[in-house]
Structure 1
Amino acid sequence: MNPCERWPRLWLGVFPTPLHRVRRLRDDASLLLKRDDLTGFGLAGNKARPLEFLMADAIAHGCDIVVTGGAPTSNFAGACAHASAVAGLDCEVLVADGPASTVPIRLARACGALVRATNGDRALIEDAIAKRVIDLELEGRHPYPVPRGGATPVGALGFASA
């Protein structure tokens, strides 16, 4: 049994994704590529993996809104908004240096996410997420913070399950 099966998971992608052998290498070299571009979850690619566990964890903890952030070009932020919508959770995306009309930000908005500009650069986005979580709690919400890229132990389960 895969140890990751002990944690709740909201299936978003089509797994397993195939392994492709790289051709035209030296005779003594062998390389396999994991084709996570074929997960089938929007534009998420391998980002679907951590999001499956993060969304399930948010639901298991009774959360009603996901708060994430990143640069305007953050594919993870757009994928997180998409996953939140599939999970039935509200989502706020905090964008460093202000929201732009990039594909990830348009995807986030199309999925119903509220996109907010932050005053600062990408390095400060974690602080902005933490502050927004406190504000939402004071409003009576139950937020689930997701750092840039879903870099948490729960998110890592997605890659461990690959």
Structure 2
Amino acid sequence: MHPLVAATPTPVHPLPRLAKALGLEPEQLWVKREDLTGLAGGGNKARKLQHFMSEALSGGYRVLVTGGGPQSNHARMTAAAAAMNGLGCVLVLRRPETEDLSGNLLLDRMLGAQIHWVDPIPFAALNQSIVDIAGAHTQKAYPIPIGGSSLPGAIAYAQVAQELSTQLTFDLVVVANGSGGTQAGLAAGLGDHARVAGVNVGAQDGIDAFVTDLAAQAAAALGLPTPNGAAQIDHGRIGLAYGVPTKECEEALLLVARTEGLLLDPVYTGKAMAGLIAWARHGRLDGKRVVFVHTGGLPGLLSTRYTQWMGAALVDS
């Protein structure tokens, strides 16, 4: 067995054409390419999985158990990490209206994961199902929370914040907030919640307190001061529900693709970029150097549901 190693450090580069389109100066807008971490298509979960895999391997576990939505990026990357190390993998996924084998779900199956479908249940109940299924497994099974959003995952992104600080001087980081661990870790590493703007994509309730508390835990684990303030989260970009793209998200995907050749996804990064675009247009980013954290997610865009949505949008674009 070999522990998972993400392809790091990930690059940071400017987005001058997008900046111009938003009325910003060319050097104001940058992207941290966490989509290039290299594990089964890349994404921010590779950083977190390095920590979880270390614990699982040292503890003699034979199976990884995690979960999420049917197009979960975290599930796909956990399945890949398990395959790399000869471990089994069980994915506890919320049952969709149609079990279409495309996008991340197709990759889950290719990577050998066993799918355990559950009815659409709340976030906390799904996390409990992961723990219960791991406990009942016939082999020693290691439960990983949805999105890897617990202390090890937050520690991983506190370290990313420190990596980013060696690459660039900046004022603000913008990131999608699904299960909260990435934003919490970034705030812990930077020492100030005001320097991290999260965009809520609607995955769970009570996310503000969760991020604030987890950031404090991650900072303490690393011997860092508790971050100043409380989590800064934009709740206005969710739309109808988690996973349901918005018109703002559609605009963000097309604008970023056509100005920078950068591909976002409709569940996480598209909604996060929609938030950034709105803030720029309302003057909230004036005079600031901003880094957008690209957390990955491209396979989700290639699921049948979202290719049909984007295909319809392209007819009029």
TM-score interval (norm. to shorter)? 0.7 to 0.9
Q: CA deviation at 1:85?
A: 0.8
**In the TM superposition, what are the counterparts of 1:111-122 in structure 2 within 5 Å?**
111-122=111-122
- Residue 29 of structure 1 and its aligned partner are, at CA, apart by 6.7
- Using the TM superposition, give the Cα deviation of residue 134 of structure 1 relative to its aligned residue in structure 2, in angstroms: 1.9
8 Å Cα contact 2:14-2:27 kept in structure 1: no
Report what 2:31 is aligned to.
33
Q: Any idea what SS the aligned residue of 1:16 has?
A: coil
In the TM superposition, residue 74 of structure 1 has moved relative to its aligned partner by: 0.8
Greater Rg, structure 1 or structure 2? 2
1:109 equivalent to 2:102? Answer no
Any unmatched runs of 5+ in structure 2? Answer: 161-317
Change (3 A) 1:29 1:14: closer
For residues 77 and 62 of structure 1, the distance between their equivalents in structure 2, rounded to whole angstroms, comes to 21
Per the TM alignment, residue 27 of structure 1 is displaced from its structure 2 partner at its CA by: 4.3
Aligned partners of 1:103, 1:26: CA distance in 2, in Å?
34
What CA deviation, in whole Å up to 9, does each residue of 1:136-156 have, x standing for no partner? 1xx3x2111011101111122
Q: TM-score, normalised by structure 1?
A: 0.82
Aligned ranges 1:10-159 → 2 under 5 Å:
10-23=3-16, 24=20, 26-27=24-25, 30-97=28-95, 100-123=100-123, 124-136=125-137, 139=138, 141-159=139-157
Query: What is the alpha-carbon root mean square deviation over aligned residues?
Result: 2.2
Q: Percent of aligned positions with the same letter in both sequences?
A: 31
The CA distance in 2 between the partners of 1:78 and 1:122, in whole Å, is 21
Tell me the equivalent position of 1:4: none
The size of the alignment, in residue pairs, is 151
Partners of 1:112 and 1:14 lie apart in 2 by 23
The 3 A distance-change label for structure 1 pair 33 and 108 is: same
> Helix, strand or coil: the match of 1:67?
strand
Q: TM-score, normalised by structure 2?
A: 0.44
Distance verdict in 2 for CA 1:100–1:12, change over 3 Å:
farther
| Matches of 2:86 and 2:53, distance apart in 1 | 9
Query: Aligned partner of 2:133: which letter?
Result: R
The one of the two structures with greater contact order (alpha-carbon pairs below 8 A, sep at least 6) is: 1
- Offset, 1:10: 2.9
Q: By how many angstroms is 1:28 displaced?
A: 9.7
The residue matched to 2:90 in structure 1 has which SS?
strand
Letter in 2 for 1:155: G
